[in-house]
């Protein structure tokens, strides 16, 4: 379908993720758009994008491509949970730097909205990254999302640590030990690990993001571990009390295959064990594994809620520095006709 409101004719269609030529073209546009606007983004590698070819029983992606003269000029990634959060959709839109401010982003948003509404989704959320030192309104992603009627409902710092790093030398209480594993959690720890993952679902600060936490069970863990192993080396650290084996928390780092920068993902300390520097000890343990097994890494990225004082302090202690602010932009999905009416356009 040719989109009527873009300033150049664009055709928006669903991308066949098995079409290698099209998927690579999609990826190149996404990369160019992100590099054009972001400071130090952690970009998804082409290999990670190809992982969308393996269906995930818990989460579905639909990719849309906007083409002008047969070339991809804009992309949209629609992400939807399958068994939970059926009202919610993640959306990421990118437009090639040479084709911005021509209405292509808006046309992709309209096309995505139509599909999401047909799927019963009512709320959309997307990430807008703002370089440090820039007012949010002056950043393209934030201004674009605001123009679509989305508003900021949660803010995180995007933090970066150059590697190799020297972790703070602060001891952990000696009644605790830290254990680590790689791609698969040991059998005897799986149920305790799932309990912590469920706690994380509930405890991680999300501001007003309209997200319903779910129970993280062993089947979800198995599927997640198998999927992650196809694209990443995983390092997990967990804190265990020596007296009774009780778990105090966990921390996960993902190293995308063949890439120079890693992602510090979840870190959780269970509520009853906070205040003993377990977070610091677990992050130190994952860094030690990285320096042994991945000396080639040049940096590690993480995202921390601006009002998560404990995690902010921990990260600062390691030497992380803020490079961007990430705003979760959320809004109600409206039909394109309702959006056009709100923008003051008369129906065609």
Ligand X SMILES: CC(C)(COP(=O)(O)OP(=O)(O)OC[C@H]1O[C@@H](n2cnc3c(N)ncnc32)[C@H](O)[C@@H]1OP(=O)(O)O)[C@@H](O)C(=O)NCCC(=O)NCCS
> Least distance in Å: CB of 324 to ligand X?
11
Residue 108 CB, nearest distance to ligand X (Å)?
8
List 23, 65, 106, 278, residue binding ligand X (CB under 6 A):
106
Query: Which SS3 state, helix, strand or coil, does residue 342 take?
Result: helix
Contact 326, 134 (CB under 8 A): no
- Binding residue for ligand X, selected from 15, 17, 27, 37, defined by CB under 6 A: 37
Angle between helices 218-231 and 190-203 (to 10 degrees): 90
Task: Estimate the share of the chain in helix, then strand, then coil, as percent rounded to the nearest 5.
Answer: 35, 30, 35
Report which residue's Cβ sits closest to ligand X. Answer: 105
How many Cβ atoms sit within 10 Å of the Cβ of residue 77? 21
Total residues at the site for ligand X (CB under 6 A)? 22
Binding span for ligand X by CB under 6 A among 87-95, 230-238, 265-273, 286-294: 87-95
79 in contact with ligand X (CB under 6 A): no
Burial of residue 295, with CB atoms counted within 10 A of its CB: 0-12 exposed, 13-18 middle, 19 or more buried: exposed
Q: How far is the CB of 207 from ligand X (least distance, A)?
A: 17
Buried b (16+ CB within 10 A) or exposed e, 314-338: bbebbebebbbbbbbbbbebbebee
Task: Give the one residue of 44, 85, 88, 92 binding ligand X; rule: CB under 6 A.
Answer: 92
Q: Rounded to the nearest whole angstrom, what is the least distance from the CB of residue 273 to ligand X in the complex? A: 36
Query: Taking the C-alpha atoms of 16, 124, 39 and 22 in order, what is their torsion angle to the nearest 10 degrees?
Result: 10
Three-state DSSP class for residue 100 = coil
Q: Is 325 in the site for ligand X (CB under 6 A)?
A: no
> Is residue 73 part of the contact set for ligand X (CB under 6 A)?
no
Cα separation, 266 vs 302, in Å, equals 9
What lies within 8 Å, CB to CB, of 9 at 6+ separation is 2, 3, 68
* Binds ligand X by CB under 6 A, chosen from 12, 23, 93, 125: 93
Q: Is 113 in the site for ligand X (CB under 6 A)?
A: no
> Of the ranges 101-109, 205-213, 267-275, 320-328, which one interacts with ligand X (CB under 6 A)?
101-109
**Are the C-beta atoms of 85 and 215 separated by less than 8 Å?**
no
Interacting stretch for ligand X, rule CB under 6 A, among 17-25, 53-61, 97-105, 192-200? Answer: 97-105
Whether 160 and 40 have beta carbons less than 8 Å apart is answered as yes
- Binding of ligand X by 172 (CB under 6 A): no
CB 95 → ligand X: shortest distance, Å? Answer: 4
Q: Which of residues 117-156 bind ligand X (CB under 6 A)?
A: 126-128, 140-141, 143-144, 147
> For binding to ligand X (CB under 6 A), which residues are involved?
33-34, 37, 92-95, 100-106, 126-128, 140-141, 143-144, 147
């Amino acid at each position: 379908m040719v989109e009527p409101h873009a300033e150049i004719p664009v055709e928006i269609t669903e991308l066949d993720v098995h079409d290698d030529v099209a998927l690579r073209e999609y990826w190149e546009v996404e990369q160019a758009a992100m590099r054009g606007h972001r400071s130090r983004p952690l970009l998804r590698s082409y290999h990670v994008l190809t992982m969308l070819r393996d269906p995930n029983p818990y989460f579905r992606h639909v990719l849309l491509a906007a083409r002008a003269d047969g070339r991809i000029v804009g992309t949209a990634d629609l992400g939807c949970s399958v068994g939970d959060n059926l009202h919610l959709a993640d959306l990421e839109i990118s437009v090639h730097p040479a084709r911005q401010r021509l209405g292509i982003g808006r046309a992709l948003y309209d096309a995505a909205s139509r599909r999401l509404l047909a799927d019963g989704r009512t709320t959309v959320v997307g990430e807008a990254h703002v370089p440090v030192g820039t007012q949010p309104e002056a950043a393209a992603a934030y201004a674009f999302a605001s123009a679509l009627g989305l508003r900021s409902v949660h803010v995180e710092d995007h933090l970066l640590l150059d590697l190799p790093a020297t972790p703070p030398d602060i001891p952990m209480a000696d009644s605790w030990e830290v254990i680590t594993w790689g791609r698969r959690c040991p059998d005897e720890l799986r149920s305790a690990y799932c309990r912590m993952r469920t706690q994380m679902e509930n405890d991680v600060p999300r501001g007003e993001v309209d997200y319903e936490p779910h129970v993280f069970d062993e089947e979800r863990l198995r599927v997640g571990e198998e999927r992650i192993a196809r694209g990443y080396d995983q390092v997990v650290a967990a804190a265990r009390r020596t007296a009774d084996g009780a778990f105090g928390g966990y921390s996960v780092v993902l190293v995308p295959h063949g890439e120079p920068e890693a992602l510090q993902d979840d870190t959780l300390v269970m509520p009853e064990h906070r205040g003993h520097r377990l977070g610091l000890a677990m992050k130190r343990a994952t860094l030690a594994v990285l320096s042994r097994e991945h000396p080639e890494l040049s940096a590690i990225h993480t995202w921390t809620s601006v009002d998560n004082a404990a995690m902010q302090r921990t990260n600062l202690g390691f030497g992380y520095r803020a490079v961007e602010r990430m705003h979760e932009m959320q809004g109600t999905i409206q039909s394109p006709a309702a959006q056009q009416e709100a923008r003051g356009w008369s129906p065609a």
